[in-house]
Amino acid sequence: MYNIVGLSEEVTKMVKMLVPYPEKCTGCRFCEMACSLFHEGKINHADARLQVHKKDVRTDFPSVCTHCVACGEECCVHACPVEAIKIEDGIVRVDEDECTACGACVDACPFGVMRMEETAFKCDLCGGDPTCVKFCPMGAIKYEEPNAEQYEKVKRLLEGE
């Protein structure tokens, strides 16, 4: 069992996070549209808190981020010069009051899912009932117990681009 940053092992066992399954993604991008519609009331793939990549005939995959999976020195938490990105209950959150919109986190995010408008923003799990999961009948994004291996898979696919 993977231990999410900021949580004890006991608590980690009880939390759920978004888990990407690249091998199940069909590349339809419905999750992006639904995410944007849910949060913004309009469709813009740049507003979506997750991204679907279509690389070649064999490779489609979703890129997501919810809980801190310890991306390493390159991560958003380290990149933020004003410590506006915090880990609360394991979830990576942007403190909009402190964010200066410098964009360092967007550049740093290895998953490409930190977004920027007036402030940085990212996936907030839709308050506990993630829209993307509801719209993925293939199970390419699941809301379930932590599984860091799947994040590693996505990271490797992104590095190959």
Partner 1 sequence: MKAYHGKILRIDLTAGKSSIRTVDERYVRKYLGGQGFVVELVYHGMPKGTDALAPENVLAMAGGLFAGFPIPTGGKTAFAAKSPQTGTLVESIMGGVIGAELRHAGYDALEIVGRAEKPSYIFIEDDSVEIEDASELWGKNTREVPETLKKELGWDVKVACIGVAGEKLVRFACIDCEERQAGRGGLGAVMASKNLKAIAIRGTKDLEPADPGALMELALRYQNIMENAPSFKEDTVYGTGEFLGWINKEKGVFPTRNWQTGVFDEREQIDPYYWATRYVSKNKACFACTKPCGKLFEIKSGKFAGVAVDGLEYETLYSLGSACGNASIESAARGNELCDVLGMDTISAGVAIGFAMELVQRGILTEEDVGMKLTFDNAEDAVPQMLELMGRREGFGDVLADGVKRAAERIGKGADRYAIHTKGMEPPAYDVRGMKGHGLAYMTSTRGACHLRAGFYAPELVGKFWRWEGIDRQSPDGKGEMVATMENFMCVYDSVGLCKFSRGFFLIEKLCEVIEAITGMKFTEDELLGIGERIHNMKGHFNHREGVTRKDWLLPTRVLEDPIPAGPSQGSTISPEQMNKMLDDYMAARGWTADGDPTPEKLEELDIA
Tokens linked to 84: 């506006």
Q: Are 29 and 40 in contact (CB under 8 A)?
A: no
Compute the least distance from the CB of residue 153 to partner 1, in Å: 14
Among 7-15, 78-86, 89-97, 134-142, which window interacts with partner 1 (CB under 8 A)?
Answer: 134-142
Compute the least distance from the CB of residue 86 to partner 1, in Å: 29
Binding residues among 18-47 for partner 1 as defined by CB under 8 A: 23-24, 26-30, 33-34, 37-38, 40-47
Binding residues among 54-83 for partner 1 as defined by CB under 8 A: 54-58, 60
Angle at 157 between CA 13 and CA 105, to 5 degrees: 70
Among 2, 121, 135, 143, binds partner 1 (CB under 8 A): 135
Q: Are 24 and 154 in contact (CB under 8 A)?
A: no
Compute the least distance from the CB of residue 148 to partner 1, in Å: 22
Tokens linked to 143: 């809301």
Among 16, 78, 93, 134, binds partner 1 (CB under 8 A): 134
**What Cα–Cα distance (Å) separates residue 68 from each residue in 26, 54, 121, 161?**
26, 25, 15, 23
